[in-house]
Amino acid sequence: MKQTVEEAAIESCVIDRSIYNDEYQPYYLDGFKDGAEWQAKQSPWISVKERLPGKNTGVFFTVEWKDSRKGYFVGLYYGNGQWESDNRMFLQDSPLYRITHYMPIPSFDEILEANRDVLERIKEKGD
């Protein structure tokens, strides 16, 4: 079962009473909700400058060529700067292009969980 933002905020208040008291509850809850809203708007793309995926990890990744074209690929990161998609290897240090961002491929269970509310609505409608 998914937890609402308000439920998570209240639970975090209970866990750490040192930063919370009844007088500040409305402010704390508002700040928690604002933080959750901000997080939800963040891009799922991760810069390769920030960090690389684990070895042998399936990912979506972006390639920017020197002539300003950009491509999006589904493939595997082998480690050591080697990316593969459809039997085509991309090397991180190529003079012709650069890998800029990646996004982990979610598992089937993660996709189901993220769309549970949609599935429940479909069930209720009987479609």
Domain ranges of the chain: 5-40, 43-127
Do 9 and 27 touch, CB atoms closer than 8 A? no
User: Given pLDDT bands bounded at 50, 70 and 90, which one contains residue 33?
Assistant: confident
**pLDDT for position 77:** 96
The lowest-confidence range among 35-44, 73-82, 100-109 is 35-44
pLDDT digits 0-9 by tens, 102-126: 999 988 888 888 888 877 888 888 7
CA distance 67 to 53: 26
User: Given pLDDT bands bounded at 50, 70 and 90, which one contains residue 29?
Assistant: confident
**pLDDT for position 15:** 60
